[in-house]
Amino acid sequence: MATLDEIGEQDDWMCWLCDKPVDPDASVNDGRGPSVDSRITKKKAKKKVREMPERLAHRDCNTGKGNSEAVVAWADHLFVVDPAVILTTVDRLAKKNGREAVGRCPTRDDAEEAGAWLLDRLQRLEPTVTFETAIEPGGGQFLLLLKT
């Protein structure tokens, strides 16, 4: 098992769930302090989908400390209709390459902004997988696709 410091270095002292910095010097008993999250949600614990690496999380964000399900939120400023559940989509694509729609946007600019945000977010969420986005117009909207 890796130490807290090693996992902190690996994740650049950013919380894998809320994507905000974790203070390495904060007390591990502090809610905003560092903790190691085994990255296993209830569903995955039952199914044992794939080996989940340990990740750095704030103590309050850690899924092993009372929060039952890990949730990675879309940023508030994005305009995405029917946004996909990020973790579920990413886990599926990481397991089996392919492409999936992750949301619909009213304009191409919205889709490009959401796609750029998502790729940046995924660099930290799933650093071992290379993702790409694509935008497909249709029905007066723009479909945002995530590909591996």
- Pick the piece of the chain touching Zn ion (CB under 5 A) from 8-16, 99-107, 126-134, 135-143: 8-16
The answer to whether the CB of 52 falls within 8 A of the CB of 40 is: yes
The answer to whether the CB of 102 falls within 8 A of the CB of 136 is: no
Q: Which of 36, 56, 61, 70 binds Zn ion (CB under 5 A)?
A: 61
Q: Which of 58, 59, 104, 121 binds Zn ion (CB under 5 A)?
A: 58
What are the Cα distances from residue 81, in Å, to 67, 71, 110, 143?
26, 18, 10, 9
The residue (of 39 and 58) whose beta carbon lies closer to Zn ion is 58
Q: Which of 7, 15, 122, 143 binds Zn ion (CB under 5 A)?
A: 15
Dihedral (CA of 65, 67, 69, 75) sign: negative
- Pick the piece of the chain touching Zn ion (CB under 5 A) from 42-50, 53-61, 86-94, 117-125: 53-61
Phi, psi of 85 (to 5 degrees): -75, 110
Q: How far is the CB of 17 from Zn ion (least distance, A)?
A: 5
